[in-house]
């Protein structure tokens, strides 16, 4: 594959993962705070892919690989929080409930607190965060392959 094809494939991979996240959200799996964190690097990778299409430069695939590595790393961290391997941010884990009042927890209005340490969906024993980590690592490898092309 050419450098342009690899770059397009990697950017489209981020587009597909981001689209999948929004589909899951639309069918009733609301994202937690860390899920949103994983989306930002995918948005950056899509933008990088678009820029690379119009403005050829050697830096784009490296930046795409960095974006994919960041979202993969966040996915690994999030997976560890879900599996209780380590603590997550107190704003969206069990510790975050301490700052909420009973009225906040029972309220039927406003945003619901989605817990980052709870697995809302899994397939083959991997959560959405885990799958993001796996697929994003693969996208990072594609970006790196594009970066190594002349």
38, 71 in Cβ contact below 8 A?
Answer: yes
DSSP 8-state class, residue 96: G
As a whole number of angstroms, the distance between CA 24 and CA 26 comes to 5
Residue 127 backbone phi and psi in degrees, to 5? -80, 175
* Per-residue model confidence (pLDDT) at position 126: 83
* pLDDT score for 106: 57
pLDDT at 71: 96
User: What domains can you pick out in the chain, each with its CATH number?
Assistant: 3-86+113-148 (1.20.1550)
- Each residue's pLDDT expressed in tens, for the chain with a length of 150 residues: 999 999 999 999 999 999 999 998 899 888 888 889 999 999 999 999 999 999 989 999 999 999 999 999 999 999 989 888 888 888 777 754 555 555 555 555 555 678 877 778 778 988 888 999 999 999 999 999 999 998
Q: Is 54 exposed, middle or buried (0-12, 13-18, 19+ CB in 10 A)?
A: exposed
CB burial of 29-48 (b: ≥16 within 10 Å; e: otherwise) equals eebbbbbebbbebbebbbbb
Q: What is the pLDDT of residue 111?
A: 58
| pLDDT score recorded for residue 61 | 96
Please write down the long-range contacts of 18-24, taking CB distance under 8 Å and 24 or more positions apart. 18/42, 18/43, 18/46, 21/128, 21/132, 24/121, 24/128
């Amino acid at each position: 594959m050419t450098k342009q094809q690899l770059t397009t494939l990697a950017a489209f991979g981020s587009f597909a993962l981001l689209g999948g996240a929004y589909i899951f959200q639309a069918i009733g799996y609301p994202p937690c705070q860390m899920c949103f964190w994983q989306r930002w690097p995918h948005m950056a990778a899509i933008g990088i892919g678009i820029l690379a299409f119009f403005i050829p430069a050697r830096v784009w695939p490296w930046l795409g690989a960095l974006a994919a590595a960041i979202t993969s790393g966040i996915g690994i961290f999030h997976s560890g929080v879900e599996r209780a391997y380590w603590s997550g941010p107190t704003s969206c884990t069990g510790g975050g409930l301490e700052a909420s009042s009973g009225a906040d927890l029972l309220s039927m209005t406003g945003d619901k607190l989605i817990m980052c340490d709870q697995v809302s969906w899994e397939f083959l024993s991997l959560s959405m965060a885990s799958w993001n980590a796996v697929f994003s690592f693969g996208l990072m490898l594609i970006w790196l392959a594009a970066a190594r092309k002349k």
